[in-house]
């Protein structure tokens, strides 16, 4: 074998070795590893039954932003101290960011001021004045109350008091919604009665023609369930309005048990919460408040394409 042939075979062997290294190892070209961002969503309830559309949006964003999303529920309803302990626990356990639905925004804000966290927090609701909170994503609570009040005024006479029900006025942002709703109704000559107790108790005391406004989704869901499941309400003249939507609530709107709803796009809220959380990990977002569009709908709106996209989003 000539010297040139030996050199050629040596080059071919070397090339094969390089090709092998390229195909089977990262010694020469290192493969870029996908970074997964654990994001914990801590809700303000003991179950996530009312977060279906939000969860769909969060799951969609998780696919696009390489997030691993965990939903954390409370052990006991209405416990801001325990909720903030969960925030710390999730971050200590490795969460890159936390999305928080505060039980009580004021109390949670105070607790947050006393904590030093190594991961950013995205708040669902009005901003909490704390540097660790990077974004707030929220419906316009004042607008929610105003829209609901205007609908009741348009569709009813002021001869009887409007009964407003909620689980707790300090819970979430009920106080802001109630303040706007009561102001709108009272300016139009309506009287307002607030009930901070289960819908079942309020309905048990109701008789004749009455207007009831449920300002949180849990109270609305319970009221709609009672009206649809109890034969004695079959010919009831109770006119039920509310804020929020679930599959069951939309079914009762379609059946006429609920007269009207104030809604916002919870799919978008879920998507943006994860998007902002991942970007905040990279310090890619400035502190901001994002307002979701708010709408009032009746049975007639359920088949409109613009509302179908909001109410029945595709995963």
* pLDDT of res. 10: 67
What is the Cα–Cα distance from 255 to 260, expressed in whole angstroms?
11
* pLDDT of res. 209: 80
* pLDDT of res. 7: 61
* pLDDT of res. 27: 53
Q: Per mean pLDDT, which of 102-106, 169-173, 228-232 is the most reliable?
A: 102-106
* pLDDT of res. 54: 95
Please give the model's pTM, rounded to 2 decimal places: 0.85
* pLDDT of res. 131: 80
* pLDDT of res. 140: 93
Q: Residue 32: is its pLDDT beyond 80?
A: no
Q: What is the percentage of the chain residues whose pLDDT exceeds 70?
A: 87
What is the Cα–Cα distance from 54 to 260, expressed in whole angstroms?
21
* pLDDT of res. 205: 82
Q: Residue 303: is its pLDDT beyond 60?
A: yes
Give 130 or 60, the one with higher predicted confidence.
60
Q: Residue 107: is its pLDDT beyond 70?
A: yes
Of all helices (H) and strands (E), which one includes residue 296? strand 294-297
Burial of 241 (0-12, 13-18, 19+ CB in 10 A): buried
Give 131 or 212, the one with higher predicted confidence.
212
Could you tell me if 265 and 310 are in contact, meaning their C-beta atoms sit under 8 angstroms apart? yes
Characterize 288-311 residue by residue with b for buried, 16 or more Cβ atoms within 10 angstroms of its Cβ, and e for exposed. Answer: eeeebebbbbebebbeeeebeebb
pLDDT, one tens digit per residue, over 146-196 is 999 999 999 999 888 999 999 888 887 899 999 999 999 999 999 999 999
* pLDDT of res. 33: 75
Helices (H), the chain: 3-24, 52-65, 80-92, 105-113, 141-155, 174-187, 199-204, 217-229, 247-255, 266-281, 305-311
DSSP annotation of 62: H
């Amino acid at each position: 074998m000539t010297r040139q042939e030996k050199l050629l075979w040596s080059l071919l062997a070397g090339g094969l070795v390089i090709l092998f290294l390229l195909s089977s190892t990262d010694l020469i070209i290192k493969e870029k590893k996908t970074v997964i961002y654990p994001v914990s969503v801590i809700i303000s309830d003991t179950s996530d039954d009312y977060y279906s559309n939000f969860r769909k949006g969060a799951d969609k964003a998780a696919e696009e932003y390489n997030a691993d999303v965990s939903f954390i529920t409370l052990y006991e309803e209405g416990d801001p101290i325990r909720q903030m302990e969960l925030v710390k626990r999730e971050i200590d356990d490795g969460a890159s960011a936390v999305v928080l639905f505060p039980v009580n925004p004021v109390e949670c804000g105070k607790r947050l001021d006393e904590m030093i966290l190594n991961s950013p927090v995205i708040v669902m609701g009005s901003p909490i004045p704390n540097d660790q909170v990077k974004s707030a994503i929220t419906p316009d609570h004042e607008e929610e109350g105003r829209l609901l009040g205007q609908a009741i005024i348009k569709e009813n006479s002021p001869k009887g008091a409007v009964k407003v029900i909620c689980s707790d006025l300090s819970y979430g942002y009920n106080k802001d919604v109630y303040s706007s709703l009561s102001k709108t109704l009272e300016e139009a000559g309506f009287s307002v009665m607030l009930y901070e107790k289960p819908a079942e108790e309020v309905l048990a005391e109701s008789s004749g023609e009455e207007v009831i406004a449920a300002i949180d989704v849990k109270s609305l869901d319970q009221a709609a369930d009672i009206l649809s499941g109890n034969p004695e309400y079959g010919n009831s003249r109770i006119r039920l309005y509310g804020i929020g939507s679930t599959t069951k609530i939309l079914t009762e709107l379609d059946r006429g048990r609920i007269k009207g709803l104030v809604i916002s796009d919870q799919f978008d809220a879920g998507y943006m919460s994860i998007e902002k959380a991942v970007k905040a990990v990279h310090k890619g977002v400035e502190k901001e408040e994002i307002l979701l569009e708010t709408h009032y709908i009746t049975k007639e709106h359920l088949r409109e394409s613009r509302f179908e996209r909001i109410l029945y989003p595709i995963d």
